Amino acid sequence: MRKPKITIGIDPGSEVSGMALFYDKQIIKGRNVANADVIQTVGEWSGGAKCTVIIETLVAYGGRVRTETLQTCKWEGELCYRLSLERNVRQVLVARSTVKAWIFNACPEIVLPRLVKVMEAAHKRSVSKGKKGLVRADGSMRQASFQFIDDRIVVAAIKSLLSIPTPRPGRSNFYGLHSHSWQASALCAYFLLKDQPLIPRTT
């Protein structure tokens, strides 16, 4: 019997990291794990078998660098080094913007309606501060862009792409996904599904 391909997604945080486990292209579970326990969890989930670990990597950006961001950078470096010592682990680094761009094209019927609302809200906030907002020189709104995809849109897209049901109010997610582990699942989904044909995007 063929053993499934093991893929583990990790969204590094300053103290806690989101993790998700996939067998082939099927999500198995997700969890938020203290950074001190991440390497152990990778070992437990892989069982010592060969696995691919997808890590969200930070990229340069403008603006103030928070203490949490610096801590996350340090942890990402330590994480990559420690995983490099594991013979069964193959590492792949993926930027969040890459995942957002893929989600934007992968499920437009989920993304676009939500994205319009997010951009409209961002425009109103900008105008209320006396700024230009998200309008062009001719006064029309900018086209929808993956840059405005937020965590809620990521969750909605991953639910659709992986057929994850929304639990009843007061009940936890079937796979244990919560906050950071959703992004970890998005990393795995991108890596495993990115070569599949995309749904044509309509505007």
What stretches in the chain show pLDDT beneath 50? Answer: 200-203
- pLDDT number for residue 31: 96
| Ranges of each domain in the chain | 6-107+150-193
- pLDDT number for residue 160: 94
- pLDDT number for residue 168: 83
| Phi–psi pair at 16, nearest 5 degrees | -130, 140
For residue 189, what are the CA distances in angstroms to 32, 100, 103, 106, 135?
17, 12, 10, 11, 33
* Domain 6-107+150-193 fold: Nucleotidyltransferase; domain 5 (3.30.420)
On whether the pTM is more than 0.95, the answer is: no
- pLDDT number for residue 200: 44
Which string of b and e fits 163-178 if b means at least 16 CB within 10 Å?
ebeeeeeeeebebebe
